[in-house]
Amino acid sequence: MKYIVTSEKSIDQAATDLEAAVKANQFGVLNVQDLQATLQSKGIDFQQPCRVFDVCNPHQAKAVLTEDISMNMALPCRISIWQENGQTKIGAISPKSMLAMLSDSEKLASIAEEVDGVMQRIINAAK
């Protein structure tokens, strides 16, 4: 259900490379959340760097929403970059696995499988 790779890159370099890989695969970055900075701004001592990228391909999103508008709760896709035990990790929840839990639509399964492959390519390119 999770696809996670370990990178030798810093979080900053992995983030730069992730943004380039997202664009190269006809997806877009909608938002980046810096969880460490957000929690620290709320007065919470959180020392683990973690960035969450909301990514989307508008054509795939439209196809999913046209098939089942309630799938808006599962969009956009998210790719995270974080540090764990001194290593940079890049990962995402598999769209294929997630949508399979939410719907038994064959059309959605087909779209999710395609998006799943693209997400893995994006993650591997940023690695």
Q: What is the pLDDT of residue 127?
A: 96
**What is the CATH superfamily name and number for domain 2-126?**
TT1751-like domain (3.30.310.70)
Ramachandran quadrant class, 85 (left: phi over 0; alpha: psi -120 to 50; beta: rest) = left
Helix orientation angle between 58-67 and 106-126, rounded to the nearest 10 degrees:
150
Hey, which residues does 29 pair with through a beta bridge?
55
Q: What is the pLDDT of residue 33?
A: 98
Query: How far is CA 58 from each of CA 28, 101, 115, rounded to the nearest angstrom?
Result: 8, 22, 12
**What residue ranges of the chain have pLDDT lower than 70?**
none
Q: What is the pLDDT of residue 91?
A: 98
Residue spans of alpha helices (H) in the chain: 11-24, 35-41, 58-67, 95-102, 106-126
Hey, which residues does 32 pair with through a beta bridge?
53
Q: What is the pLDDT of residue 25?
A: 97
